[in-house]
Chains A and B, each alone.
Chain A
Amino acid sequence: MKLVLMVEDEYGNAEVLQMLLEAEGYRVAAASNGKAALDLLSGEKPAAIVTDFMMPHMTGAELGLAVRANPALADIPILMMSASPESLVKGEFSDYDAYVQKPFVAAGLLRLLAHLVENGRVAGKRDPEVEKSMRQLLRGVKLPPA
């Protein structure tokens, strides 16, 4: 079972997200902020990181910068989630692989994550398949089951 690092400060969101990921067959390492997530990254390397943007102590953007700066971790796909406009997130960190606007539809997020875990990240440019799914999510298109 693939390991996913989930980083989310809101209790309810974190509980539900962990439940959804586990139901999809992932093992989940959970952290409530970027700093706690970095501590967990010293252990087993996850197949992907699903992280909130705005969190106490260390934001998802700061976590992303730290991950990309570490050669041992730099190739981990990052799925960023936020209630903020994507332009704000991009202003602080743009090298994520997928972006999901909160509140999200579980099927869309899980489909994006499955794609990232399966294909890994394409450094330097975003995967066209991911772009397509993100655009569909932003338009509120109901995605077929993955």
Chain B
Amino acid sequence: MKRRATAVPGLDEILHGGLFEGGVYILEGPPGVGKTTLANQIAYQANAHDGTKTLYVTLLAESHSRLIQHMRDQTFFRAEAVNSAVVYLSAYRELEQDGLKAVIDLVRGELVRHKASLFVVDGLVLENHELGPDERVRQFVHGLQSLASAMNCTGLLLASGGNRSLNAEQTMVDGIFTFEDYMFQWRAERRVQIRKFRGSAVERGKHTFCITDDGLRFFPRLEGLPWTRPEPEVSDIGIATGVRALDEASRHGGFLKGSSTLVVGASGSGKTLLALAFAAQATVQHRCLLLTSAISPGGLARFGAEFALPIQDRLNSGALEIRWESQEDESMDEIGYKLLRLVDEFGSRRLVIDGLAALADTVAFPERGYRFIGRLLREFKSRGITSVFTLDPTILGAAGGVSAAGLAAWFDNVLELSDAGEAAGGRELILRKMRGVRPVRTRFRLDLDAFISPGA
């Protein structure tokens, strides 16, 4: 069977390649969740890709002109394609006068007339009494499925119906995509689950998605995706940490290349300072990306300057890029994919995430956070990126409801910062774990002299 890629970011990965020609797929979910936008996105993108024509048939749905008006700000929309490449028709009269069979007949006739190979039926309400019981809906879907198969078209059926959903086993359809708008206290997260998909395996379970000016963008659960990159290589190359004593203690002159380091400490313990020391070692050849949600790039540069760390110089030379990421209602996977995109775009060899708790402050973290972090670190390692994450365990507990101890197991190196008191010399750095080497020392005093100040 031939696939029809949707070209919707993330969706073809979830579907292992796209929809099948001759298949009918039900997109079910509450109003406003994005079904209509997705169907239009698929239609316009298919036309732009290979000239596919779409028949867009509405039952009792939003008027075509309003629908098109709402679509105008989407980048995939092209006004010149309206009613030439994407033909909008209403079948409500046929439904009202002669029932669902007349709708199938209309779709058949119009597919031929407009030479369309993709059709959308929008506005099937599962709780609509006019449609009768489930049996009538199943007959309708079966009719459309037979039509799509006979005419080698692909069909999308958009259905809503509150909490009611179709019985996947009893519905003669090639796929059922269930959309939901999951409420989490004050926040909401859009999710999709492929409940049925004939002809191939899919990424099972729920995946998040967002709606942007570019249409829908799906985020397959990161840890569920098959691993396609080369396995990370075990390296014995040391990457300078920026902390003199730490480099000396590690025997390799720093963290091992591709390793991940978790720096744990309470607020004010020096985590950001240690992260800046690591970032300041970046060069134009081995660039560093630093992501922060708390302090602005200018603030970090000034903070580094107090400890003779040339952050501003690194920024000026392009060796360092600081991204100040605001705390938006992004899903965990959305943040994960954004991180991977950013390190790929920037070509990072060093990565600093100052404030891992921001990632934990997502709906899915308590359930999937450990596995997600494990996969994210493996992704960085396979790219040869040496990463440093800072973490305040108090914030982690409040945001994600998980313990730092459990999270630490995924990291190669774990450093703990604590306040040893003035009498003991201020801040103390404790090396809890360093994979690959047995350090000669595990406790260091952290003061102004501790940091290596590379030349500007």
- Complex Cα–Cα for A111 and B327 (A): 52
Prevailing SS type, chain A contact patch: loop
- Complex Cα–Cα for A103 and B70 (A): 11
Q: Give chain A interface residues in 30-77, CB to chain B under 8 Å.
A: 32, 53-57
Chain B residues, Cβ within 8 Å of A87: 80
Number of A-B contacts (CB under 8 A): 61
Inter-subunit contact A56/B84 (CB<8 Å): no
B109 within 8 A of A: yes
B127 within 8 A of A: no
Inter-subunit contact A10/B63 (CB<8 Å): yes
Inter-subunit contact A85/B79 (CB<8 Å): yes
Q: Which of B2-10, B89-97, B340-348 makes up part of the contact surface? A: B89-97
Inter-subunit contact B82/A83 (CB<8 Å): yes
Closest to A8 in B: B90
**Other-chain residue from A11, A84, A104 in contact with B93 (beta carbon distance below 8 A):** A11
Given A9-B90, A54-B87, A56-B91, verify A103-B65 contact (CB < 8 Å).
yes
Inter-subunit contact B82/A56 (CB<8 Å): no
| Number of residues on chain B facing chain A (CB within 8 A) | 25
Chain A residues, Cβ within 8 Å of B84: 84, 88
Given A11-B60, A102-B64, verify A84-B89 contact (CB < 8 Å).
no
Chain A residues, Cβ within 8 Å of B88: 54, 83
CB distance from A14 to the nearest CB of B (A): 9
Chain A residues, Cβ within 8 Å of B82: 83-85, 88
**Other-chain residue from A10, A53, A103 in contact with B69 (beta carbon distance below 8 A):** A103
Chain B residues, Cβ within 8 Å of A32: 90, 93
Chain B residues, Cβ within 8 Å of A56: 89-91, 94, 106, 109-110
- Complex Cα–Cα for A83 and B91 (A): 17
Cβ contacts A to B, 14 pairs, < 8 Å: A10-B58, A13-B63, A32-B93, A53-B83, A54-B88, A54-B89, A56-B89, A56-B91, A56-B106, A56-B110, A83-B88, A85-B82, A88-B80, A103-B69
